[in-house]
Amino acid sequence: MGIAVSPQIHPHVAEFIDQPRKMLINGRWVNAASGKTFPTYNPATGEVLAQVAEGDREDINQAVKAARKAFDNGPWRRMTASERGRRIWKLGDLLEQHTEEFAYLESLDNGKPLNIAKVADVPLAVDLFRYMAGWATKIEGNTIPISAPGFLAYTLREPVGVVGQIIPWNFPLLMAAWKLGPALATGCTVVLKPAEQTPLSALRLGELILEAGFPEGVVNIVPGYGETAGAALADHPDVDKVAFTGSTEVGKLIVHAAAGNLKKVSLELGGKSPNVIFKDADLETAIPGSASAIFFNHGQCCCAGSRLYVEKSVYDQVVEGVAEHARKIKVGSGLDPDTQMGPLVSEEQMNRVCGYLESGFSEGAKAVAGGHKSGGRGYFVEPTVLVDTKENMKVVREEIFGPVVTAMPFTDPEEIVPRANDSEYGLAAAVWTRDIGKAHRMAEQLRAGTVWINCYNIFDAALPFGGYKQSGWGREMGHDVLNLYTQTKSVCARIA
Ligand code: NAI
Ligand code: MG
């Protein structure tokens, strides 16, 4: 182990990945019941980065048992909301103190540039914990006047119970925060399964969770594969709710698996988000904004602006502008301070994206920037702009989840709403225009959980995020997410 590590690596990270990492069950770090481990790779080199305990059904059973005990009988349930909130706040502080270390872990395991992890992934996770810490003391029911005289009726909002959380590899730490923050604020207990490609930052976060003073069993972290550990969590009869972020395909499997005990389900799934530029837009911001809409995180964003629609009279100028940005992006190892785009997360993901490029070319699309795998070692793909694309092509219909945008012109502003909405997904959309009336009309008509106007990829812990159509069920972050982790109890008392 440690073979893929460059000399400048952060010393705590070097130490962390030098030992096989264990899983967190009931407040203790343990090996898998089977004794098995699995490798996680450095996508910049393809070499093994670390070995990690491989959780399976038996480990999930142990973790669920611990979470159940912590929920039903532990000190967690007796803790005041204020004490709960203080621990979440402390977790945010601890994470912030270790920003550098987490950015390194994220860069090594996922491939993303260290400098970006430092200013985006880690601070957004810190902010999410702080935002959710505040909610712990503000979860309230209502008093409700009912029609019959002589009654007092009110509602209580109670934690849903033991929650299974399955997260992806594109923002490993941030997705752990999005999931854990609201579950802890509401008083649930958790079994978290990080993605097999990127388990390291969640495991390090587990150490901070213990340091922040969460009682044993409140958070359990079981790394492992989806088909084994993930599936065991989704169909577990003693799990009250499963929260999933990942592919729409697996989202549907989760729904089926959850049917056994009808556990609650929330899903944050794929997207194929339209990014619409009108001729009256400020192109000086729309062009770089649209490049970053697709190329941020190497296109591995569920909300990536992957379908670029541009009004005809400015189409050539915008496409050339975005292509120019694509050509200038410095692709390389995430640890290199000059790198603007790292490798894709895995060989599988690289092959999937290259397969889409070939499919696009075979259907008649042309690349005006990129179009190929890049470099020798590592899972790099060039930032790519495809033109001559048609609505029925696979590259326009399906989520590529890589640095590939399809550009298409439109002539009539009236036609663009149905074209933008012509997708099985509905996660995000963007509109670039100086006409505020048009912008807000579009925002109303686009069938997407988030609409950005003259911007893209703006996230905030206070702003709900989630999908229409096959992009998912429920909203993460903001006030909305509390609904996913609580249920309402109506209490009705005869008082006269
Ligand atoms: P995936 O959906 O298979 O993986 C996401 C998580 O689900 C991982 O933790 C995985 O271990 C788990 N999982 C996989 N199969 C499972 C099962 N049967 N039961 C329970 N859990 C399971 O995504 P994958 O294969 O890594 O990527 C495939 C495609 O999915 C990508 O190309 C992209 O289009 C999409 N995707 C979307 C994401 C999003 O943020 N919406 C994130 C990751 C992938
Ligand atoms: Mg998969």
Q: Quick check: 2 pLDDT over 50?
A: no
Average of pLDDT values for 21-33?
98
Average of pLDDT values for 65-79?
97
Nearest residue CA, atom 19 of ligand 1? 231
Q: Quick check: 413 pLDDT over 90?
A: no
What's residue 191's pLDDT? 99
**∠ at Cα 237 (182, 254), nearest 5°?**
65
State the Cα–Cα distance between residues 432 and 163, nearest whole angstrom: 39
> 238 with 64: CB under 8 angstroms?
yes
Q: Quick check: 1 pLDDT over 50?
A: no
Lowest mean pLDDT among 11-15, 253-257, 354-358: 11-15
Average of pLDDT values for 272-279?
98
How much distance in Å is there from the Cα of 247 to the middle of ligand 2?
A: 7
> 44 with 74: CB under 8 angstroms?
no
- Which among 222, 173, 172 is positioned nearest to 54, based on CA atoms? 222
For 75-129, write each residue's pLDDT tens digit: 999 999 999 999 999 999 999 999 999 999 999 999 999 999 999 999 999 999 9
Amino acid at 28: R
How many C-beta atoms lie closer than 10 Å to residue 149's C-beta? 7
Q: How far is CA 34 from the centre of its chain?
A: 30
Structure tokens that stand for 12 in this block: 């705590």
How much distance in Å is there from the Cα of 250 to the middle of ligand 2?
A: 7
Q: Quick check: 22 pLDDT over 70?
A: yes
pTM beyond 0.75, yes or no: yes
State the Cα–Cα distance between residues 339 and 230, nearest whole angstrom: 33
Structure tokens that stand for 399 in this block: 């989520």
How much distance in Å is there from the Cα of 167 to the middle of ligand 1?
A: 8
For residue 268, indicate whether it is catalytic: yes
Q: Is the CB of 378 under 6 A from ligand 1?
A: no
CA-CA-CA-CA torsion for 356, 361, 366, 370, nearest 10 degrees? 50
How many C-beta atoms lie closer than 10 Å to residue 146's C-beta? 11
Q: Quick check: 148 pLDDT over 80?
A: yes
| Catalytic residue of the set 268, 382, 399, 476 | 268
Nearest residue CA, atom 32 of ligand 1? 401
For residue 140, indicate whether it is catalytic: no
State the Cα–Cα distance between residues 194 and 363, nearest whole angstrom: 36
What's residue 236's pLDDT? 98
| Catalytic residue of the set 188, 301, 302, 354 | 302
State the Cα–Cα distance between residues 191 and 414, nearest whole angstrom: 48
Q: Is the CB of 178 under 6 A from ligand 1?
A: no
Give me Rg for the CA atoms of the chain: 23
Nearest residue CA, atom 24 of ligand 1? 247
Q: Is the CB of 457 under 6 A from ligand 1?
A: no
State the Cα–Cα distance between residues 295 and 277, nearest whole angstrom: 17
Q: What DSSP state is assigned to residue 226?
A: I
Q: What DSSP state is assigned to residue 228?
A: I
Atom of ligand 1 nearest to the CA of 301: 40
For 308-356, write each residue's pLDDT tens digit: 999 999 999 999 999 999 999 999 999 999 999 999 999 999 999 999 9
Measured between its terminal Cα atoms, the distance across the chain in Å is: 72
What's residue 3's pLDDT? 44
Structure tokens that stand for 41 in this block: 């790779």
For 364-391, write each residue's pLDDT tens digit: 999 999 999 987 899 999 999 999 999 9
- Give the pairing type, strands 189-193 and 241-245: unpaired
For 222-249, write each residue's pLDDT tens digit: 999 999 999 999 999 999 999 999 999 9
What's residue 89's pLDDT? 98
- Which among 159, 242, 264 is positioned nearest to 489, based on CA atoms? 159
Q: How far is CA 265 from the centre of its chain?
A: 16
Average of pLDDT values for 127-133?
98
State the Cα–Cα distance between residues 276 and 408, nearest whole angstrom: 10
What's residue 6's pLDDT? 52
Q: Is the CB of 250 under 6 A from ligand 1?
A: yes
Q: Which residues contact 331 (CB under 8 A, 6 or more apart)?
A: 339, 340, 341, 342, 374, 375, 380, 382, 383
Q: Which residue has the tokens 């989520």?
A: 399
For 153-203, write each residue's pLDDT tens digit: 999 999 999 999 999 999 999 999 999 999 999 999 999 999 999 999 999
Amino acid at 272: K
Q: What DSSP state is assigned to residue 424?
A: S
How much distance in Å is there from the Cα of 248 to the middle of ligand 2?
A: 10
Q: Under DSSP, is residue 440 helix (H, G, I), strand (E, B) or coil?
A: helix
Percent of the chain's residues with pLDDT above 70: 98
Structure tokens that stand for 125 in this block: 């996770």
Q: Rounded mean pLDDT of the chain?
A: 97
> 201 with 106: CB under 8 angstroms?
yes
